[in-house]
Amino acid sequence: MKEKRPIQTLMSLPTHPPKSTGSIYCSFCGIAEHECEHIFDGPDAHICDQCVEIASDELKIRRGEKHPE
């Protein structure tokens, strides 16, 4: 089994802002919807396009489809 590498890029991002601001934030990195191109809504969470790209790249690396940079 391949060793799982931590997604350090996501882990080093700022913590979530307060929910009382009325804006939508990425549940993973905390970026506001007006600071990114897209926010995808889930039942209990949101994810920005930047986090989707990071996760997609990590999946490709773990599957052996892409080499780490």
CA distance 22 to 47: 16
Alpha helices in the chain, H assignment, sequence order: 8-11, 49-63
User: How far is residue 34 from each of residues 9, 24, 38, measured CA to CA in Å?
Assistant: 21, 9, 9
pLDDT of residue 2: 42
- For the segment 7-58, what is each residue's pLDDT rounded down to a tens digit? 445 445 445 555 556 789 999 999 999 999 999 999 999 999 999 999 999 9
pLDDT of residue 28: 92
40-66 burial, b for 16+ CB within 10 Å, e for fewer? eeeeeebbbebbeebeebbeeeeeeee
